[in-house]
Amino acid sequence: MVKNQAEEIRAYLLAKIPVHPKNIVAQASKAFSCSRTTVHRHLNRLLRDGKIIKSGTTRQVQYFLKTDKNKEVVVSLKEKVEEHKIWQKNFQNDFEGLPKNVQAICEYGFLEILNNAIDHSNGTKAIIHTEWTSDSVDIVIIDDGIGIFRKIKNALNLEDERESALHLSKGKFTTDRKNHTGEGIFFTSRAFDSFHITSRGMAYIRDNTDHDWFVETTEDSKLEGTYLEMTISLNSKRKMQEIYAEYSNENSEGIPKFDKTHIIVELSKLGDERYVSRSQARRIVLGLENFNHIYLDFKDISTVGQGFVDEVFRVFKSQKPRIKIDYINANDDVKFMIERSLPSAV
């Protein structure tokens, strides 16, 4: 009898959650003359089984059926399309029950990435897919265009598409300076828990949980367009305002301005190269004249050469004296090389 009632309660919850997402506990407790604790126990069972989704905390908690929110929408890029209308029509209601900070991040990322597909991909369509779990949401946007890394390679006349990930990570990079600031991917990649771009056999991945970035080859070499995936915990504490502030300083009028960037030096390496050449250093500094403060991150770099250090800390710095360059996560060998070659730079 107890087992049958448990099954009845869970069946009731699955049937009534779409009708009472905010007060399902009270409804079920009344329907079965049981305690709220009992209802919560069955809700937790459904959460563990992956059948429902919970968002919000305390009095703001809402429950949803997982299948209600998983969607796939195809958008034609041949016609004039506006990203905010796609969001409002198909996805906005799904995200409204989330904490405001998570909702803001999801909306920002969705609009920025879909706008990139509309304005830059040269594609004919975009496929938008959302997948919800009990503790996270995944947003995927796929276009059938030229591919983001190929687009950057052509715009900068690069020799190797692998360099594109480095320039993409800097911020303020855009192939359409007249209409875009180049900030969208920079801030989106830092707002979500994970951010993943794949195109033409190459993947650029940022893991904000482990504070790690990397580029790798993939088996999806036939994917000529761009596959972009963003994932965030439903209970994330990250806020867009804090991310903006981390990379901004106030200008003379007291207005925050995006003028800082964080460069992962390892992204400048192609294949089995070591960090010894001036050409590698030039990959790093390309486009950095748009910033006032640069952090070079030497994580996982075991050693650097004198030419590499000289090109970054003396040649570029002498050309752009207003720019402040700091280095972080340097091991003793790298730090020694920088200090030995350029004692005035530290």
Q: How many domains does the chain have?
A: 3
Q: What's the CA gap between 342 and 224, in Å, rounded?
A: 44
Give the C-alpha distances (Å, rounded to integers) separating 113 from 52, 142, 321, 329.
28, 10, 34, 31
The closest of 44, 10, 51, 53 to 28, measured between CA atoms, is 10
Residues 110 and 252 occupy one common structural domain: no
pLDDT of residue 220: 63
Residues 155 and 282 occupy one common structural domain: no
Last residue of a domain, one of 183, 206, 240: 240
Identify the sign of the CA torsion 278, 280, 286, 288.
Answer: negative
Structure tokens belonging to residue 166: 């480095």
Last residue of a domain, one of 67, 85, 116: 67
Residues 45 and 83 occupy one common structural domain: no
Residues 149 and 269 occupy one common structural domain: no
The closest of 219, 218, 220, 196 to 207, measured between CA atoms, is 196
For helices 83-90 and 100-120, the axis angle rounded to 10 degrees is 130
pLDDT of residue 345: 42
- Cβ-count burial 97-110 (b if 16+ within 10 Å, e if not): bbbebbebbbbbbb
Residues 38 and 85 occupy one common structural domain: no
Residues 199 and 81 occupy one common structural domain: yes
Determine how β-strand 125-132 pairs with β-strand 71-76.
antiparallel
Q: What's the CA gap between 78 and 279, in Å, rounded?
A: 40
Residues 259 and 279 occupy one common structural domain: yes
Contact 92, 127 (CB under 8 A): no
pLDDT of residue 221: 59
Last residue of a domain, one of 67, 94, 118: 67
Which three-class secondary structure state does DSSP give residue 244? helix
pLDDT of residue 1: 40
User: CB neighbours of 111 closer than 8 A, spacing ≥ 6?
Assistant: 83, 84, 87
Longest Cα pair distance anywhere in the chain, in angstroms? 81
Q: What is the pLDDT along the chain (346 residues), one digit of tens a residue?
A: 456 889 999 999 999 988 888 899 999 999 999 999 999 999 999 998 888 888 776 677 888 887 778 899 999 998 888 999 999 999 998 898 788 999 999 999 999 999 999 988 999 999 999 998 878 999 999 999 999 999 999 988 888 888 888 888 888 776 665 655 668 899 999 999 999 999 988 899 999 988 888 888 777 656 679 999 999 999 899 999 999 999 987 776 667 788 899 988 888 877 666 766 888 888 889 889 889 999 999 988 888 888 889 999 989 988 999 999 999 999 999 999 888 776 454 4
What residue has token string 């563990």?
48
Domain that holds residue 7: 2-67
